[in-house]
Structure 1
C-alpha cells in the first residue's frame, strides 16, 4: 500500500497552497536532477514516488511516497490513493521508464486525477524500442548508423555486412540485461561481436548491433525539448565525459549554443515527423569525425533525462515550463546563460582517470555537482553510503567464493 512520509517544507518554499503538487515518479540521479530543477523554480515541497529508500526522496525539497511496485493496475491504484492527499491537483513527472509506461497504458484511469503530457501509447512504446526508433528515423531519411536487431543465433549472419567497429546494446532496458551487462559495448572484431551477442541472447533474447559512430568522448551532444501547446522549448548541450567513457552515463556536461540551431531543428523535425507533439522528448547525438556530421544515437521520450538540471541552471528550466503548461499557468521567462557545468562528481573523476586526463571544464564556468550541495547534503551522503555498502558486499562475495573453492571439503571432493 502506498505510504506518504511527511516532511516539513524547507525554509523559503514559495509554492502557493492552491497550486498543484509536483509528483516525480522514479528516483535515482534522474529523479534528483528533476527534483532540483523544480525546486529552482520554487515548486517545493514535491512528492517523489519510488519503491525504496532513494537519493531523490532524501532531498530537502521532497516528501517520499513508497509504493510496492511500478507495474500494472496495482501501481495505478496506489497512485490514485496518494492523489487523495493533494486537494489542489497534481502534475506528474517521469524519471523512470517503468512508471511512465504503466501510466501511459492506464492513462484513461490516471488522467482525470493527474495532469501530464504524453504522446500516444503506441508511439511511446515505439520510441522506447531502439530497433523501432531506428526504423522510423531511417525511413524518413534522418542520420542514423546502420542497425540490426538480433533475435537468434541465425541472425548473427547479418554482422559481416556491417562496418567495424560495432556498438552492441540492448533493444530496451530490463533488470535481466542491467544485472549482467554494461549499458553499451564497443567491439573491434566480428568474432568478439558474435560472442557478446550470443551471451546477451542467452539472457535477454534480443540485442541491437550497429555501426560505431567514430568520435571522441566529448563528441556526444544532446538536445532536450519540451513540446506543448506553446512553442517548443529546447536546450542543447554536450558531454564532457561519460562513465564508462564513450558508452556510459553522463559524467559531466555543459551547454553547447554553437550547435543549438542545427540540433534543435533536427530534433523537432524528427519528433514532428513521427507525430510527437506533446511532453518531454530529447535526442542524443554523436558528431562523426569521419565527415563532421551529427548522427542520432537514441531518443528519450515522455520522461526527463539525467542532464535536465543543466537546462535549469543555464536559465532554460524545461521542468518548470512543463509544470506551467500542465497547471495552466503562464510559462516562465527564459534566458540562456551557458556558463555552467553539471557533473556527477564521483563518476566524472573515475572517467577522467580512465581517460588519463584531469577533470577539465570550460574556463569561467560554474560547477554544479549531481549529488553534493551544501544546502541539500542528504542525497550525497546516502549515495556515498550505498556505494560503500555495495562495494563491501561485492568484496565479501568474492572472499566467500574464494574460501568455498579452497576449502578442505572441496579439495577432498576433487
Structure 2
C-alpha cells in the first residue's frame, strides 16, 4: 500500500478526474463524500471512499477532523473540488492545519475572489481586461444597468444555494427592461448579483488556464485549454474541451501575473473569452482554492496539476513545467456533451484527435457502469409509470 496519500473532498466528475490524476502518479486517495451523494467518483476503485453524515456547510470540516484520526502525521495534502468546501475550509484552517497541507490563498483573498464583485475590483486594480460589470445589491442599483450595453449576462455574485435552487448559474438577457424585471424579482433570494456585458462568440472562443501556483514562490505550472462545447450552450460549463496551443504562452503568463498580484496560491484557474471588438481575450471568472470541472484534461495531455500540488505538499520535487507533455486529446463530459449535441450537432468543430470520456476507463470502469445502471433504472421507472 502506498505511503504517499492525499485526501480529496467531493464526489462529482471533477473529483473523479482528480482521483485518477493522483492514481496515475502513484498517490493514494481517501475520498471524502457526503452521505447520500451519488456522484460518479463514489464508484471509483482508485480511492477509499469515506462517507460523512453532516452535509451542512461546516460538516465537511468536522468530517476532515474525524478523517485525520484515521491517519498519522505528517499532514496530508488536501484537494478540494467544490466552491462551498473552499469557503468552509478557509474559515477553519486553524483547526485543520496540523493534519492537512491546505495550499489555500489567505482567507481574505479567498473571500474576495470567490465573490464576483471582488474579482471585478481585482481585475480593475491590475489593469486587466474584463467585460464591464455592475454589482446589484439593492433595488437602487438596478438603474445602473443603463450604463451597460446589451445583451447582458447575469450571475449570483458568489455561491448562493438559494439562488441556484430557482435560477441558472448564468443567464443571458437581451434588453435592459427584461433584465431589470428579473433583478427586482431575484433580489428577494440573493444578497448580491453581478451583471456583465455579454461577450459575443462561440463556445470555442472560451479558453481556460488551469494552474498550480506553489505557495513558496516557485514557478507556476500551467495548462491552457479551450472549450469545444458548453452546456447549457454559450453560458454553461464545459461539455468537451482540448489543449489550446496557440494561446497558451500568453494566457499562462497573464494568469500567473494576475494570481501572483492578487495573492493566489495553490490550485486555481482562470476562464477567458475572445473579444472581437478589442481583439484580445478578456477575463471572465476565476476558480480559487480548488480544481476545475475539466481539470483532468491537463493530466490527459501530460500536465498533472493535482499530482504536482500533492508532490509540493509532500515535500517532493515538482516536475519541470514542460515535463510529461504529450499529444492532445479531447476530454468529454458525456452527459453534458450529449445535451449540447442535441441542440447543435455540428457545434464541436472538427478536431482529428482521440476523445477521452470522463466516465469510462478500462482501468476504472465503476463510474461508467454505475451511470448505465442508473439510466436503465430511470428508463424502467418511466416505462412503468405510463
Answering whether residue 237 of structure 2 is matched by residue 249 of structure 1, we say yes
Q: Matches of residues 295-334 of structure 1 in structure 2 within 5 Å?
A: 295-332=282-319, 334=323
Cα separation, 1, equivalents of 2:48 and 2:293: 20
Deviation at residue 338 of structure 1 after TM alignment: 4.2
Segment drifting more, 284-293 vs 128-137? 284-293
Larger radius of gyration: 1
- Which position in structure 2 is the counterpart of 1:85? 70
Deviation at residue 332 of structure 1 after TM alignment: 3.5
- Which position in structure 1 is the counterpart of 2:15? 31
CA contact (8 A) 1:348 1:359 kept: no
Deviation at residue 291 of structure 1 after TM alignment: 3.0
Answering whether residue 56 of structure 2 is matched by residue 67 of structure 1, we say no
Answering whether residue 134 of structure 2 is matched by residue 148 of structure 1, we say yes
Q: Which of the numbers 94, 97, 104 marks the counterpart of 1:111?
A: 97
In the TM superposition, structure 1's runs of 4+ consecutive aligned residues that sit over 4 Å from their partners are: 70-74, 358-361, 384-397
Deviations 1:132-156 (CA, angstroms, capped at 9, x unpaired): 1001111221101111111222211
Deviation at residue 97 of structure 1 after TM alignment: 1.8
CA contact (8 A) 2:228 2:348 kept: no
Normalising to structure 1: TM-score of the pair? 0.85
Query: 3-state DSSP class of the match of 1:298?
Result: strand
Normalising to structure 2: TM-score of the pair? 0.91
Answering whether residue 343 of structure 2 is matched by residue 354 of structure 1, we say yes
Cα separation, 2, equivalents of 1:313 and 1:28: 18
Cα separation, 2, equivalents of 1:395 and 1:290: 51
Cα separation, 2, equivalents of 1:182 and 1:393: 28
Answering whether residue 176 of structure 2 is matched by residue 190 of structure 1, we say yes
Task: Flag structure 2 segments of 5+ consecutive residues without an equivalent.
Answer: none
Deviation at residue 88 of structure 1 after TM alignment: 5.3
CA contact (8 A) 1:27 1:96 kept: no
Deviation at residue 359 of structure 1 after TM alignment: 4.9
Q: Matches of residues 254-293 of structure 1 in structure 2 within 5 Å?
A: 254-276=242-264, 278-293=265-280
Number of corresponding residues: 380
Deviations 1:270-299 (CA, angstroms, capped at 9, x unpaired): 1111222x2112100000122321000000
Segment drifting more, 160-169 vs 346-355? 346-355
Query: 3-state DSSP class of the match of 2:121?
Result: helix
Q: Structure 1's 384 and 359: CA in aligned 2 closer, same or farther, altered over 3 A? A: farther
